[in-house]
Every structure is written in C-alpha cells, then in structure tokens.
Amino acid sequence: MDVSTALNAISALTIHGLFTDSGGTNSPIILHRTVAPLDLVPFLNLVAGGVRDDKPPKPYIPRPPSTLPEPGDLHVHLIFGEKKGWGRSSFVHEVNISRQRLFQPIFLPLFSRSHDLKRRAEIAREAWFYDELECLQGVVLPRCYGWFEAELAEGQSFDHWTRATGRSSETENSNPEWRFKGSKQLTEMSDSRNYVSVLLLEKLGDTLPIGVPLADDLVKGIYGMYGEVAELGAEHRDIRYFNILAAPKARLHSQACLPHSLVAYIHIA
C-alpha cells in the first residue's frame, strides 16, 4: 500500500468559497479528520422480512483490526467542481485536490458528500459504516478517504446547501426515530446546527445501461455485492438504480478478492 495515498493519509481539508463570515465575506474553513466511535451505531436483530425485534442483540463478530497504516498528516486544499446530485440528507460534488506543493501525492478523482446542517448524524453514521466495512472498500464500496468536520465560528454560515438545491438548510429534520434508536451520540448530533461534515470518497463510474438486457454474470455480481455487505451484518435498505455504479476506469485492472469475479467492476454508491 502506498502510505502517501492510503485511506487515512489526509488529516485535514481546507475548503474555499463555501463559507461566509458575519460580514458577508467568503472565508476558508479547515475541517479535521474525525474518527467515528466504535459504538456509534447500535447493533439490532433482524427477523424474517427484515423486521427488527426488541430482544437484546445476539453476539456479533467484532470488527477486524484495520489494515491501514498509521494515520497520515497530509493537509489538502479542496476545489469543488460540478454538482452531481443531492438526497434527503446530503449533496454530492466532484472535488479536486489543489496541488500546494511539488511532491504532493496524486489521488484518483474524488467526490465529496456534504450534509445539510440538520443532518450531521447521517454523515457520521455513514462514516461509521465505511469503517465497519473497510475490507469491502475498493471492491464492493468506493474508497473512503475520511470523515472531516469543523465547528462553525460565531457568525459564520454554510449556505451552499441552499445554493445547491434551492432548499433551506433549516429544512425540518425528518429522520425516522428508529435510525438513531439506542445511540445517544447520534441523537445528540442530530440536534447540532453548528458543524459542517464532509465525507471524501472515490469517484465512481457510470450507472448501468438502460434498455438492454444485463449479462447473467453482471446480475450475479450485483447480487454478490449486496450479499457481501449482508454477510458482514450491515442492512442496506437503499437499493436503487442510481446506487449501482461502475468502478473507476483508473483501476479496472484491480483483482476481485471475492468469489464474484465482476464485483471489482461494479460498486454500491
């Protein structure tokens, strides 16, 4: 593994042009790597049909030790590019890392996933799952280069959500209560309004073709991806067309380390 571009190589991000101070002037902000606590997301039992029961969780296999090197101290400057979409809790942009020094490591193309100011808990929860499923990153899931946060200073605003979607960042928080059931930390995060969070993710490829039959191997690969996630005890309930993407062309030569040979070529976003 190239330590300079490992998933934990970046310790801080500087973002320009998306934050406004009390005087209405754009001001850069530095976001620091945040590590999701191991107990952030509670474990729940599932019974037939995916229904949760109220019994105490059964014993589970502990998360295996990370295979990543020691965290790096790389500080990068992000340039936000084209908006690629948004959802209930976040918006997605292409981002580039500005080269601030001659020998700065070169990363593959990246996406950022940023949250509405009332959806901090959603990003934290997603970051936890990337850590939990580290062994599937780059095989079934995109690589995640970290969860970064900053507390907004007094008078500082993050109005990019409104500009990106036309919606106010003060949209009513409609998170189903069960999503944070048993997690005091997530519940507290869902009430915070003065943090901005960013997930830095590997940019994936295109969606599946429409109007043509999918090859049997490709269909098996899709089932295989979700099967691998389920084998690790993660319940994935957002299965839809736009969440199944091709792997980045820059690494299509990657070897699949799972039984499904095509898993390396399609990913769950």
Residue 54: CB partners within 8 Å, gap ≥ 6?
Answer: none
Strands 74-86 and 29-34: unpaired
163-190 pLDDT, tens digit each: 544 444 444 445 445 566 668 888 888 8
pLDDT at 50 over 50: yes
198 token code pair:
């960013």
Range 155-165 average pLDDT: 61
Per-residue confidence band for 255, with pLDDT thresholds at 50, 70 and 90: very low
Residue 247's nearest CA partner among 147, 114, 143, 111 is 143
Q: pLDDT per residue over 116-136, tens digit each?
A: 667 888 899 999 999 999 999
- Mean pLDDT value across residues 244-256: 65
Confidence of residue 251 (pLDDT cuts 50, 70, 90): low
Q: State the average pLDDT over residues 37-47.
A: 80
* CA-wise closest residue to 156 among 13, 29, 32: 29
User: Of all helices (H) and strands (E), which one includes residue 227?
Assistant: helix 216-231
Which pTM value belongs to this model? 0.83
Angle at 234 between CA 108 and CA 55, to 5 degrees: 160
Q: What is the reported pLDDT for 195?
A: 87
Q: Can you give the pLDDT at residue 259?
A: 47
Of 22-26, 157-161, 216-220, 228-232, the range with the lowest mean pLDDT is 157-161
Of 255 and 83, the one with more pLDDT: 83
